[in-house]
Amino acid sequence: MIVGIAKIFTALSVSFAVGIAIAPILTTFLYKHKMWKKRVRNEALGGGETPIFNKLHKEKEVGTPRMGGIIIWVSVLLTIFIIWLIAKVDPSPATLRLNFLSQNQTWLPLFTLIAASLVGLVDDILQVYDRGGYIAGGLALSKRIFIVLLIGLISACWFYFKLGTSSVAIPFYGSFDLGILFIPFFMTVMLALFSGGVIDGLDGLAGGIMASIFAAYAGIAFAQNQIDLAAFCSAIVGGILAFLWFNIPPARFYMSETGMLGLTATLAVVAFLSNAVMVLPIIAFPLVATTASDIIQFASKKLRNGKKVFLVAPLHHHFEALGWPSYKVTMRFWIIGIVCATVGMIIAIVGNLPVLPLL
């Protein structure tokens, strides 16, 4: 127990320290090469202009660098490598116990994090240089969806064929076997989480929300004695906190696709590895609400002759349009995110405990 706690907090601390150390280097590079969008988004996903969004974010859209998410996944990668290398050079009981690189718990989420983050990085670069078929440059949405589904397919097949997993745990009920349907279900979850990336729209918002989500899954993994997975989630939290140090208002850079795509894809893998995917809508409720607001807005405009439900979507921009300062929106989302993550973690842990006979 004590060793596990030490491993988890060591991963978090090292990742945070690495992130803080590389941030100035990344900042210098991003500003030197002007790695921000060169034009403001002026068309909504469902069509039509975006006058309210432009009024709120016109200056920030073209003056703040993207790719800040590099800090997160590079911090995690370097943390794993540093701790692994120390254990190899000095294989003492202490260093070996701190190493959390393991085939059954961290290989797949690490691969997913790096692969999806690199795809997001390519998209960010294309948006900076205004190439491609997306609204404001970058990879076309259809291409990004295809890549996310491909990563989901590879991950799902690893679970189904390599790990022999075909069921999900329903709290207070037990396992529910999906059979071969586990694969499309996994891909659907990953795609749904990808859509939650729209929450990356205000200074500090996405970082705070994702930190609470991964902290919750670290707690779930720890309770299930998946110590390496818990340490991996903690390393992600450490990287996010380092990023957040520089992303709170006024943001020095944005997380953008290289951060959100990597985090959302990895979250899907972590949720299934910890067998706690059914509480994901609770733990990640801010992502669910943000995605739902976009879907509702899009459907309303299509089915009600252009009438909108929200002043502007996604949801956090609606509150901005109502007159809330961005920092108030962000902090209240943080509070809701922490509460939801805590409730979901408790349900997952208590709901999966064996039923004990009454005395």
Q: Is 86 exposed, middle or buried (0-12, 13-18, 19+ CB in 10 A)?
A: middle
Helix, strand or coil, per DSSP, at residue 312 = coil
The confidence score (pLDDT) of residue 135 equals 44
The confidence score (pLDDT) of residue 134 equals 44
pLDDT < 70 positions in the chain: 39-61, 131-137, 353-359
Can you tell me the distance from the alpha carbon of 99 to that of 323, in angstroms, rounded to the nearest whole number? 48
Domain parsing of the chain, residue ranges = 2-351
Can you tell me the distance from the alpha carbon of 210 to that of 222, in angstroms, rounded to the nearest whole number? 18
Instruction: Give the pair of three-digit tokens for residue 274.
Output: 């910890």
> How many CA atoms, within 13 angstroms, populate the side-chain half-sphere of residue 293?
19
pLDDT in tens, 242-301: 999 999 888 999 999 999 999 999 999 999 999 999 999 999 999 999 999 999 999 998
Can you tell me the distance from the alpha carbon of 279 to that of 266, in angstroms, rounded to the nearest whole number? 16
* CB neighbours of residue 351 within 10 Å: 16
Predicted TM-score of the model (pTM): 0.92
Instruction: Give the pair of three-digit tokens for residue 92.
Output: 């003492």
The confidence score (pLDDT) of residue 358 equals 39
Can you tell me the distance from the alpha carbon of 302 to that of 123, in angstroms, rounded to the nearest whole number? 28
pLDDT in tens, 73-88: 999 999 999 999 999 9
Report CA-CA distances (Å) from 329 to 166, 204, 211.
40, 10, 17
The confidence score (pLDDT) of residue 1 equals 74
Identity at 2, one-letter amino acid code: I
pLDDT in tens, 114-124: 999 999 999 99
The confidence score (pLDDT) of residue 81 equals 96
| Phi-psi region at 140: left, alpha or beta (left = phi > 0; alpha = psi -120 to 50) | beta
The confidence score (pLDDT) of residue 226 equals 95
